[in-house]
Amino acid sequence: MDPYDVLAPVHEIAARDLALARLRREAPIQWDEPNQWWLLTRHADIREVSRHPEAFSSEPKGPWHVAEHRFSMQAMDGPAHLRNRNIVSRGFTPRMVALLSKRARRYAEEAVDALAGRSSGDFVTDLAVPVPLRIIADMLGVADGDFDRFRRLTDAVVGGTNPEAGAGGLAEAAPMIAELMEYFGKKAEERRAEPRDDMLSKIIAASDEGVLEGLPGASGDGLAGFSNDEVKSMAFFLLIAGNETTRNGISQGMLALLQHPDERARLASRPELWETAADEILRWTSPVRAMRRVALHDVTLGHQRIRAGESVVMVYASANRDERVFEEPDRFKLDRHPNPHLALGFGPHYCLGANLAKMEIQATLACILERLPSLRLAPGSEPVFMRSALIDGIDSMPVEW
Ligand code: HEM
């Protein structure tokens, strides 16, 4: 089968889900010759790979879009990975996230306030972008930045993973990446001179102590536009990871609620459902569609021999519909429990922003359900879906209320 069927954008989702179900049934570990990687579609195999970093490396060594560049902890192994993760991990604990939840709600309220006097808009720009973008900018310490510019720049990076654009997509994104890097360079100079209580200052302190050693680019292997500067790389990754992913969880989550009016009504009248709802939204939407690892030595996975150096692509969107794990996997059920979805990964690279992402999805959608109860898709228009091999997302979604 054409692997692009499996990595297809969400508007082709019905066809894609059928293709994934067939793969799970007939060829759960399938060699994809044109792309030169194994496609993994079963929950158990993806979990197995994720929890064995000693056998399956996250470092860039094979074919798979932007992640050829080791510009973040996500693309590192072993002690270097842990060192980098630990620099910022305290900012993402449940306690820290609980402290941020009031602010997230306020940002959601302000986004709705800004629509006063209007009865239509673009869901993505008006309602899904503000909360994750403002929160991660606060955390990093760049809240005085130009938010429209952040959005354009991070969009361009994700645009670089459009499988149809191939290497051209990346080339197009390069000047935007350079612009963002330059911005972080300036901010880093400011913080070095005058540290504050923000992540950028923490990253700089860690870098000055030599903790970041081993981050990318030291040998000049950076992507065009990336500087060989570990501080900028780390800040850049956090801005993208904290922004592009959750925004799509919110937009896709709203679309799922619009498509399932009974579940939407239940959530609006029973807010306690939020205890399980954000996880079901994540399972259903899998905003990060897939991630890659490379075998460090020959390994047997299932009945399949994977050779050293071969890449495996873990299709989370498939694991999250695996009928071996989920009862009625094709039903959107906000009270699903347990819900061992893999939308946030598994193992040592489990999403650092997991608590934050769920909190932001809840803060934004709960506010919209309360304050814009009649919100609906604008008649005669369609959501515009993102073209990316990495993110299942929505570029724009005209709505009215
Ligand atoms: C709906 C929202 C989100 C989704 C679906 C998501 C998904 C993921 C996934 C699947 C991974 C695992 C990657 C791997 O195993 O290779 C991951 C890692 C990561 N995520 Fe998220 N994420 C989301 C939100 C966030 C937010 C808000 C942040 C905050 C900055 C964040 C920061 C990170 C970081 C730093 C990593 C790398 C962790 C490591 O390598 O140790 N994510 N995310």
The token duo for 186 is 């300036």
**165 three-state secondary structure:** coil
Ligand 1 atom with the shortest distance to the CA of 286: 5
Please provide the size of the chain in residues.
401
Is the model more confident about 164 or about 159?
Answer: 159
Q: What is the per-residue pLDDT for 3? A: 41
pLDDT tens track for 53-85? 999 999 877 666 444 455 688 888 998 899 889
Full 3-state SS string of 325-393: CCCCCCCCCCCCCCCCCCCCCCHHHCCCCHHHHHHHHHHHHHHHHHHCCCCEECCCCCCEECCCCCECC
| CB-side neighbour CA atoms (13 Å) of 241 | 23
Cβ–ligand 1 distance for 73 under 6 Å, the answer yes
Residue 339, exposed/middle/buried by CB under 10 A (0-12, 13-18, 19+)? Answer: middle
Tell me what pLDDT residue 64 has: 60
Confidence of residue 223 (pLDDT cuts 50, 70, 90): very low
Which carries the bigger pLDDT value, residue 228 or residue 17?
Answer: 17
What phi and psi, each to the nearest 5 degrees, are found at residue 121?
Answer: 180, -175
Q: What is the pLDDT of residue 221?
A: 38
* Cβ(286) – ligand 1 distance below 6 Å: no
User: Does 169 score more than 60 pLDDT?
Assistant: no
- Among 58-72, 86-100, 201-215, the range of highest mean pLDDT: 86-100
Neighbouring CB atoms inside 10 A of 144's CB total 7
Mean pLDDT in residue range 154-165:
66
pLDDT mean across residues, the chain:
87
What is the rounded average pLDDT of the residues 368-379? Answer: 97
Q: Is the pLDDT of residue 157 over 80?
A: no
Instruction: Give the pLDDT mean for 165-193.
Output: 77
Distance 97 CA to ligand 1 centre (A): 15
User: Domain extents for the chain?
Assistant: 3-400
**CATH assignment of 3-400?**
1.10.630.10
According to the model, what pLDDT value does residue 341 have?
A: 98
pLDDT at position 35 is: 85
Number of neighbours of residue 309 by Cβ within 10 angstroms:
12
Distance (Å) from CA 343 to ligand 1 centroid? 9
Q: Which atom of ligand 1 is nearest to the CA of 316?
A: 10
Ligand 1 atom at shortest distance from the alpha carbon of 73: 40
* pLDDT the model gives residue 2: 44
Each residue of 95-121: pLDDT tens digit? 999 999 999 999 999 999 999 999 999
pLDDT at 248 over 70: yes
Distance CA 40, CA 295 (A): 13
Residue 296's closest CA among 36, 37, 47, 54? Answer: 54
For 281-333, the pLDDT digits (tens) are 999 999 999 999 999 999 999 999 999 999 999 999 999 999 999 999 999 99
